[in-house]
Chain A
Amino acid sequence: MNWTQIGLLYRRELRSALRERAIVVNGVLIPIFLYPIMLWAAFTGITFVQGINEGFVSRVAIETAPPDTHVALLDTLRRHEGVEVIGVAGTPYGAEDAGGERALPPDDWDAALAAGDLDAIVSFRPLDGGALADNFAVRVRYDRAEDRSQQAEARIREIVSDYRAQWVASEGEALELDETERTVFVVVGESVSSSEDIGQLLLGQMLSIFLVIMVALGCFVPSIDTTAGERERSTWETLMTVAASRTSVVVAKYLYVATLGIVAGLLNVAALMVSVGAIVRPLLVDNDAAVSFSIPWLAAPVMLAGAAALALFFAAAMMILAAFARSFKDGQAMVTPVYWLVFLPFLLGDQSDVNLSLATALVPIANVTMMIRDAIGGVFLWPWIGVTLLVTLALVALCLAVARQLLRFEDFLLGSFDGSFWRFAKEKLFA
């Protein structure tokens, strides 16, 4: 190997790549803009849908009216701007009195609920045996498969809870019980998570997955372009006749593909770090959760090491498969199975209650995702980080060993073998 020649070849590859639209889009623009835009679109969409749902008036039918002492509750329901009582069976508020086009006879309510023309059917029932006379239970029938119906159930629950709290307070006052005496016990939730902890949890779950996907995406087009693309453009044989050794040529190409993979991954992380606060925080503020999006400094080298190890693996695996293709299109089909590997983390690494351990550190790709997620969360399990990197580098070594074997075959080098890697392996490598 001649490192001067490798440097020349590497720079030539990079220069060509940065002038290719598909590579720039996949390796630079998508990592910077795609996921921030996707996040923004997703959160905007969620907020928009929530707004629409909140804007809906819940159509409610009262199957059994509350006791007379609680007529005020019925009035509250009728006056609530988010609720339209379309009928009250067996009371002066019966369906015939509701008026308007929405009035429905009680016999049609079940069908209307199933058809989505009614959002909830409410029954007030006396609650016997309690300390308070006129106590009651409320049964709400709704369609959990319908957002609007769920919204109606939530509204009724809230209205009834508020009414009950006021009623219990007034009854308590009548019995000369103060608030402390009325309150038998309460449950108070108190999170010990700091705003940084919550931010790191969210970042860890997002960044670790996106980083793996982006590294793979960053390697995808360059690995095909530098192998199958060279054959398609007839520049492969030109390269075979230059004074550089075959090894130097392949090493330069490999480093170039891995570089673009790392760059894509890190650009994506940087873009998300910058944009995630602006996109996600407003949504969380509504829930009174103050979130600070920052990561520990020590996470940076762990992320870099993970991205580099993954890029070396994806670059090697993708180049091996793509090298059997004779055109860019064939190359895409041949490399796609490697791209599927990025979904391994979803089977394991995306579960926040599963920690990096010896067992999980042995699962390729997913282990890197977990390692990065833990590091962002400020958890550094160094022995398992070591195992994770070793497992990934072992895969890299395996791929390079296969590549070295392949380079011994002329029909592989010249692209005259008509078939995929798997067929070549069966007929030549392991024959």
Chain B
Amino acid sequence: MTDQPTVLVKDLRKTFYDESRGEVHAVDGVTFACHPGEVFGLLGANGAGKTTTLRMLSTVLRPTGGTATLMGRDVVGEPAAVRRSLGFYSASTALYPRLTARETIEFFTRINGYPGDLVPARVDDLVRRFGIAEYENGRVGKLSSGMKQKVSIARTVAHDPPVLIFDEPTVGLDVMNALEMVKVIRELKAEGKTILFSSHIMSEVEKLCDRIGIVHRGRLLALGTLDELRQETGQHYLEDAFLDYVKRAEGIEGAAELGPAGALEGAEGDPLGTAP
């Protein structure tokens, strides 16, 4: 992990207007940074603001306030350049069912700006790496969910982006496919990719993430390594630590005696994680 952040998020905000609820602050002043070779996890309940944050980083949504850069490119000012540096995987990013597995990978490799003359070799490489060769000419719509998952990962990394976002990647997967996903993320981390990972499954976050940001009601309640979170809350399990942070934010009795929100070094003291 180097000191130069690949992802830099400062005071990021997103406000929606809802007819019944009025203004909804889906993301409310989130700040963090990620580095090459790091898996950064956003942990939170459903509706906490994880996906909205990641959608802003992938330029699908436009921030209401704050800034975010990927590889030094601003998500608002240079969205296409940001997307070239990014692979985005989520349960809501499906594949084209009428293309074959190979056509799918080739399309995403080319459209994301991979050098044209290198595309065939790159596609061959991905087909081999993810074990797709057996069904590379089969239509995606006819593949099993496990096969689709592999094609989906291959298309995410097709253009060899330095930053990868995995938004709830194991939702809907069986145990074997979920384990496969975890394995792939570890391999990508080993290659030096910056990985943003969101989940509400504590065990996955514990296994994968170098640093964890706990998100609740659009705010980043805490940010640090697993050990730092354990240390601050005095809880051994991440699940218990998570509940402590949430209870404190909600003003519920029984929460561990903690300092002010985000008091962890790396959250409010040094949220960008740039301290030596």
- Using CB atoms and an 8 Å cutoff, list the residues of chain A in contact with chain B: 5, 8-9, 12, 15-16, 19-20, 233-235, 237-238, 240-245, 410, 414
Contacts and interface: CB of A to CB of B under 8 A. Distances in A.
> Which residue, of B93, B112, B139, has the highest number of chain A Cβ atoms within 10 A?
B93
B204 interface: no
B90 A237 contact: yes
Nearest to A232: B94
B111 interface: yes
28 contacts: A8-B107, A8-B110, A8-B111, A12-B107, A12-B111, A15-B98, A15-B99, A16-B96, A233-B97, A234-B92, A234-B94, A235-B95, A235-B96, A237-B92, A237-B93, A238-B95, A240-B58, A241-B59, A241-B93, A242-B108, A242-B111, A243-B80, A243-B112, A244-B80, A244-B111, A410-B61, A414-B60, A414-B61
Interface string B71-113: 0000000011101101010101111111100010001101111
B25 interface: no
A241 B88 contact: yes
B200 interface: no
Nearest to A19: B98
A20 B98 contact: yes
Contacts of B159: 243
A49 B265 CA distance: 92
Q: Classify chain B's interface size.
A: 20 to 34
B155 to A, nearest CB: 8
Interface of B: 58-62, 79-81, 83-84, 86, 88, 90, 92-99, 103, 107-108, 110-113, 139, 159
A376 B73 CA distance: 57
Given A20-B98, A235-B95, 4 more contacts: A12-B99, A235-B94, A240-B60, A245-B80
A9 B99 CA distance: 13
B96 A12 contact: yes
Given A9-B111, A242-B108, A244-B80, A410 B62 contact: yes
B92 A16 contact: no
A233 B148 CA distance: 14
Contacts of A20: 98
Contacts of B95: 235, 238
A410 B111 CA distance: 22
Contacts of A243: 80-81, 83-84, 111-113, 159
A290 B253 CA distance: 98
Given A15-B103, A234-B92, A241 B80 contact: no
A405 B186 CA distance: 43
A233 B94 contact: yes
Contacts of A242: 83, 108, 111-112
A414 B62 CA distance: 12
